[in-house]
Amino acid sequence: MLLAADELIYNNDTGVVVANGGVQIDYGNYKLVADRVEYNQQSGRMQAFGSVEMIEPSGNRIYADNLDVTDDFADGFVNALRIETPDNTRIAAESAERGDGQTTFNNGVYTACEACEENPERAPFWQVKAKRVIQNGETKTIRLERATFELFGMPIAYLPYLELPDYDSKRKSGFLTPSYVTSENLGTGVSVPYYLAISPYMDATLTGTGYTNQGFLGDVEFRQNFANGEHTLRMAGISQLNPGDFAPGTYDALNTRRGMIASKGQYRINPRWTFGWDGMLQTDNNFSRTYGISGYSASTVKSEVYLNGLSNRSHFDLRAYRFDIQNAQISDLTEKQQARVHPSLDYKRTFSDPIAGGELSLNVNGYSLSRKADDITTRTGFVAADPLNADRYKGFAGTNSRLSTELEWKRTFTAMNGVRLTPILAARGDVNSVNIDTAPTDYNGTFAGNGTHTRGMVTAGVEATYPVLVTTAGSNHVFEPIAQVFVRPDERLAGGIPNEDAQSFVFDTTSLFERDKFSGFDRTEGGTRANVGVRYSGSFDNGLKTQAAFGQSYHLAGLNSFATPDLSQATRNAGLENRISDYVGMTGMSFNGFSLAASARFDKDDFRAERTELRAGFSRNRVSTSMTYTEIKAPRPFVAGDEDRREVTGYASLKVHDYWRVAASASYDLVDNKFNTNAFGLLYEDECFAFALAYENTRDDGNTTARDWKVGARLSFRTLGGLGAGGVENPLLKPNF
């Protein structure tokens, strides 16, 4: 023990030591300060008087007028005390007794709110007054007996018994905060969750929900941690009392006993390799979405198993997966059209040692998938000579597999005048196995047929850039003209085999200078092509940053892959189907929290903007906003089903006060003149409680009987929990504590 004081008096007759004036005592991890301390050697008691403050090893700060403890600080009696825990929870009481690992407060007050600086005597926003407040250091709990919950000093509810986890309690069995929800078909429901701490590495949450219309829903979530991973098992089920309340002819209406089971896990084999899975099975197509099973209530749920490896210069990913399309309508077609991938493989490696002074990289990609039904978009008035008006085969019933291996080598040389030359060599080989049930019809290409197909592609190219730095008194600018030429043979089997992974094709400045502009491996760019453009970037001393790019692509010889449609029609109206491509450009700037960007593809003949995107944003201090305008023109000549598409989306968040924040978002279809989505949120949050209100409306033309709008609210008290309703998945409903 280390003791410091202005005066130290030792009484030989009584064995009492008295320390006066600015007393400071350090004992182990205990610290105590007081005006006066008396220590009786015979009884082993120590008393502190006047402005007593003691810090316990746990971090608790105890304030009292006087304090009586044993010499090892383990037991004692405290009068007129106040305790502040490390998480700013506060307990005040008339008196307290400390002993046997717990502190019992008499006529105590518990709150997580700070006292008002202007009027400390005013009641906090919320507090719980209890006849006894017991802080148990062994069980890490705070128990309030014969308690009354108060708001603004007014009693709201009487609580005979309430037990809360202490600030340093990681996990404790007990009931969690209930919640309720109101739904047209389910009725009013009340959910009561119970948390069960089975062991330090295992727990479960059991939730029972009673719905006035449909009965009792049971939900169990079991979790277990291991030294190298974790696993979660989820089960839920209900026997519906009134399935007829749902729309006729839906899964919800035709099934009485409904349920789901899901499992999720991830294990770290070593620092580089991870194995995991996430899967769900349910009795029908829409149970988890109807009853809002968290984590599995989205319109599309992906089930997968994977093996992932990552090192400094390589990445390996092997996974198998399938999709559950949750839709109340009785239709197995959509489900059968979804691919089951078994498996997909992606391996990339960049070799550490230079090869001929350059960088060599390896890319291996493959998949095997199957479907039970064709996924076809049928065009009206099919004309074989018109590639824009052909049926679109997004997937086939049957099986389809591919394995691709690609090597790429490149090296950059810098000439004396600053010109940078980068020769590029690439070689690729593919093996495709096609076994589909029905060959495509109304297709203007040549289908290769079922069987095993092989193809290869070699590429020789060179890229030349000439970056020029321009410096002024207050800015720096870099102009970089770029020219590329790639020589290669024609694409083999162009459009003759199913296209599964290269359907999302967009030609813009991000893909202008790609060696192969296709997004996947089922298509590969062939023929001789040149890409020409310029890139610019600038920075100013005042913080303004600018950038821009503009260019065009030229098909010089051979078969133009983008003018050769595939079964999915991925290259329709791509802007690359002619010998001279459309123009692509982008520009952007950012300054002091404000950003503006624009990108577009312009017709090569009349410079009509075929695809446009404008983005603006501002984020500074209390304000954060963003807005995006997107327009995609219909192809010329016009094709039914490919009308103009124009949409504007926006988001804004404003912190109107230190504790108040509002946010809104919307997506508006400028063609149909309808909101696709719109949402609004309001949040109040301070150090002890939070309140949120959110509204969300989603357009659903395909299912007009669905509930398109919902309102949610949540009131959260720090350390006590919260009450919620509506189930709106809005970030504003989640307080920071």
Asked if pLDDT for residue 189 goes beyond 90, the answer is no
Question: Assign residue 346 a region: left if phi > 0, alpha if psi is -120 to 50, beta otherwise?
Answer: beta
Q: How many CB atoms lie within 10 A of CB 224?
A: 16
Q: Is 289 helix (H, G, I), strand (E, B) or coil?
A: helix
Residues 12-38 pLDDT 10s? 888 888 989 999 888 878 888 999 998
Whole-number average pLDDT of the chain = 87
Ranges 254-268, 450-464, 530-544, 639-653: which has the least confidence? 639-653
Residues 590-607 pLDDT 10s? 999 999 999 999 999 999
For residue 608, the model assigns a pLDDT of: 93
Residues 246-271 pLDDT 10s? 888 788 888 899 999 999 999 999 99
Report yes or no: 323 and 300 within 8 Å, Cβ to Cβ. Answer: yes
Residues 463-513 pLDDT 10s? 999 999 999 999 999 999 999 999 999 999 988 999 999 988 899 999 999
For residue 161, the model assigns a pLDDT of: 80
Query: What kind and span of H or E run contains 8?
Result: strand 7-11
Instruction: Name residue, tokens 């301070």.
Output: 686
87-95 LR contacts (CB < 8 Å, sep 24+):
87/112, 87/167, 87/719, 88/112, 88/114, 88/687, 89/167, 89/719, 90/114, 91/133, 91/135, 91/142, 93/133
Asked if pLDDT for residue 724 goes beyond 60, the answer is no
End-to-end CA distance of the chain: 38
CA distances for 137 relative to 56, 69, 101, 134, 493, angstroms: 12, 17, 5, 10, 73
Residue 729 gets which letter from DSSP? -
For residue 111, the model assigns a pLDDT of: 86
Query: What does the buried/exposed string (b/e) look like for 500-532 if buried means 16 or more CB atoms within 10 Å of the residue's CB?
Result: bbbbebebbbebbbebbbbbbbbbbbbbbbebb
Q: What is the largest CA-CA distance in the chain?
A: 117
Asked if pLDDT for residue 385 goes beyond 70, the answer is no
Residues 90-101 pLDDT 10s? 888 888 887 777
Band of residue 728 on the pLDDT scale cut at 50, 70, 90: very low
Report yes or no: 712 and 724 within 8 Å, Cβ to Cβ. Answer: yes
Ranges 98-107, 114-123, 192-201: which has the least confidence? 114-123
| Annotation: CATH topology of 2-160 | lipopolysaccharide transport protein A fold (2.60.450)
Both tokens of residue 37?
Answer: 């301390």
Tell which residue, 322, 167, 146, 328, has the closest CA to residue 251. 328
Amino acid residing at 597: A
For residue 477, the model assigns a pLDDT of: 97
Asked if pLDDT for residue 706 goes beyond 50, the answer is no
Mean pLDDT, to the nearest integer, of 317-326?
Answer: 93
Counted residue by residue, the chain has a size of 737
For residue 276, the model assigns a pLDDT of: 97
Task: Round to whole Å and give the CA distance between 652 and 479.
Answer: 35
The full DSSP string for 321-383 is EEEEE--SB--SHHHHTS-EEEEEEEEEEE-SS-BTTBEEEEEEEEEEEEESS-EEEPPSS--
Task: Round to whole Å and give the CA distance between 633 and 609.
Answer: 8
For residue 734, the model assigns a pLDDT of: 56
For residue 543, the model assigns a pLDDT of: 93
Kindly list the domain boundaries of the chain, sorted by start residue: 2-160, 173-331, 660-737
Asked if pLDDT for residue 42 goes beyond 60, the answer is yes
Task: Round to whole Å and give the CA distance between 615 and 322.
Answer: 34
Report yes or no: 65 and 95 within 8 Å, Cβ to Cβ. Answer: no
Band of residue 536 on the pLDDT scale cut at 50, 70, 90: very high
Mean pLDDT, to the nearest integer, of 112-123?
Answer: 77
For residue 640, the model assigns a pLDDT of: 63
Report yes or no: 4 and 27 within 8 Å, Cβ to Cβ. Answer: no
